[in-house]
Structure 1
Amino acid sequence: MGAIHLIEWHPIPGLGNEDFYFELDTYTQSAEALAGALATAWDMEQLSTVGPILEFHRLWMHPDHARGSLWCDVMQQLIRRRYADKFSVLIQHAFPIEYEGEEEVATLGNPPFRRRFRAMQRLYTRTMGVVPFPGPEAEEGWMWRALSKGVPEPKVRRE
């Protein structure tokens, strides 16, 4: 028993970084954070021409089924069958959910948080093939993987 929450983002082709950011900012705080990370790594006008963006937003598995690779196998099959070659990138945010809303302790300076955060990054790299964004977004937990050919490498961009 479990649940996977994926979000499909379909940016308007040609929408610039600032407009993309403000568009996603109207949804939720997590959408705004995603937009900020994407806009600092890519030229959204260029990325949107490759395809929509797939966000791996949440995963929940019943503890009896959480061990092993079941969740990963399901995710990989779903991505391969429905999203590969149709979407530009897969985006994940490696952030321990138990620290959500705990800004005082959810810092890399807190050893228990740091261990859990790094473990999640290693797990996502090993199981989902995602790698950290370049620059400060990596320290915020943003990770990515190309789903289509023609996706440019992310770069640290500041506007």
Structure 2
Amino acid sequence: MRHDDDQWEKFLVRRDVVESMLSPSDQPSSRRPARIVHIAGYDFHSYRERYFDASEGEEMKLRHLTISITYEGALIGTAKLREWSLPGFCSPEAFWETADGLSQEDTDAAELLGAFWEWHQWPPQYGNVVIFSRLAIDSRRDTGRKGLRRLGDYLEVEFGRRASVLLLKAFPLEFEHAVGSDLVDRQVLFDRRSHAMLRLYRETLRVEPLSDHGRLTNWMWRPLRYCPAPARAPNVNWHEE
């Protein structure tokens, strides 16, 4: 009975998060979209913020993007992304040190890039690094996950010419603020939802699982303009060598 209660509680939390992300107050209505693309009945509005200098003298720039998805005039989804533009001379260690001061998400992304790619094949040498931060889809309106599949197509349109790699963590929205014992008590439910998201994103967004090591578990990747294949086994201590 406790398991059923937990499932219902998390469903309500997930529903509230999705509704919040799709609410008019959470949309970038004050700006005009940088791009509007129509794909198979779906409209994608891309809102790009200006780059800001995330480092001191290292020329590492970061910006936030919002992609709004509409179908028949109704908003059915919102995606939040972060895009890093790094200079060609930037080292994995320098990026990791800069990202470590911003967020856990940026830190994990820098950790992944250093652990799975050797310096001579480091993705930022071929283009920008895109981190897929959050995604909210109204499943009642997106029947058959068609909108999510078309989002997978749109990612190539938006980033295919300037970015090397897309990184995404399959993490259930309803567990965003779960810590300590709360997460441990619901580990079975968390694992079930995470595995379902891994399958869903692999099928619709065309990302592939990357890591099952520690806090890097459930991260996925997708090559964009060009990105060498990652190593099969990560060098998790690369920045300590």
Give the TM-score normalised by structure 2. Answer: 0.58
Q: Does 1:89 align with 2:165?
A: yes
Percent same amino acid among aligned pairs? 27
Give the Cα separation in 1 of the matches to 2:95 and 2:148.
30
What corresponds to 2:67 in structure 1? none
Task: Provide the C-alpha distance between the structure 2 equivalents of 1:124 and 1:137, rounded to a whole number of angstroms.
Answer: 20
| 8 A Cα contact 2:117 2:230, kept in partner | yes
SS of residue matched to 2:79 = strand
Q: Give the Cα–Cα distance (whole angstroms) in 1 for the partners of residues 214 and 221 of structure 2.
A: 11
After superposition, the C-alpha distances for 1:57-99 in whole angstroms (9 at most, x for unaligned) are 1111235324422432442242122211421111111011111
Higher relative contact order (CA 8 A, sep 6+): 1
SS in 2 for 1:33: helix
Q: Provide closer, same or farther for how the CA distance between residues 132 and 29 of structure 1 changes in structure 2, counting only shifts above 3 A.
A: same
Where in structure 1 are there 5+ consecutive unaligned residues?
Answer: none
Contact between 2:172 and 2:194, CA under 8 Å: does it hold in 1?
yes
1:44 offset after TM fit, Å? Answer: 5.7
Does 1:37 pair with 2:112? yes
Q: What does residue range 132-147 of structure 1 map to in structure 2 within 5 Å?
A: 132-134=209-211, 136=213, 140-147=217-224
Q: Give the equivalent residue in structure 1 for 2:91.
A: 16
Counterpart selection for 2:101 from 12, 17, 26: 26
**Matches of residues 51-70 of structure 1 in structure 2 within 5 Å?**
51-70=127-146
Partner SS for 2:130: strand
Distance of 1:13 and 1:152 partners within structure 2: 16
Write the letter of the residue equivalent to 1:91: L
Aligned-residue CA RMSD (Å)? 2.3
Q: Is residue 114 of structure 1 aligned with residue 191 of structure 2? A: yes
What is the SS of the residue equivalent to 1:88? strand
Q: TM-score, normalised by structure 1?
A: 0.84
Higher-Rg member (1/2): 2
**Residues in 1 aligned to 2:119 and 2:85: alpha-carbon distance in whole angstroms:** 11
1:79 aligns with 155
> Could you tell me whether the CA contact under 8 Å between 2:149 and 2:205 is conserved in 1?
no
Alpha carbons 1:133, 1:144 under 8 Å: kept: yes
Q: How does 1:92-103 map to 2 (within 5 A)?
A: 92-103=168-179
Structure 1 residues 134, 9: closer, same or farther in 2, change over 3 A?
same
Taking the aligned partners of 1:44 and 1:72, their CA distance within structure 2 comes to 34
Q: Does 1:128 align with 2:205?
A: yes
Stretches of structure 2 that go unaligned for 5 or more consecutive residues are 1-74
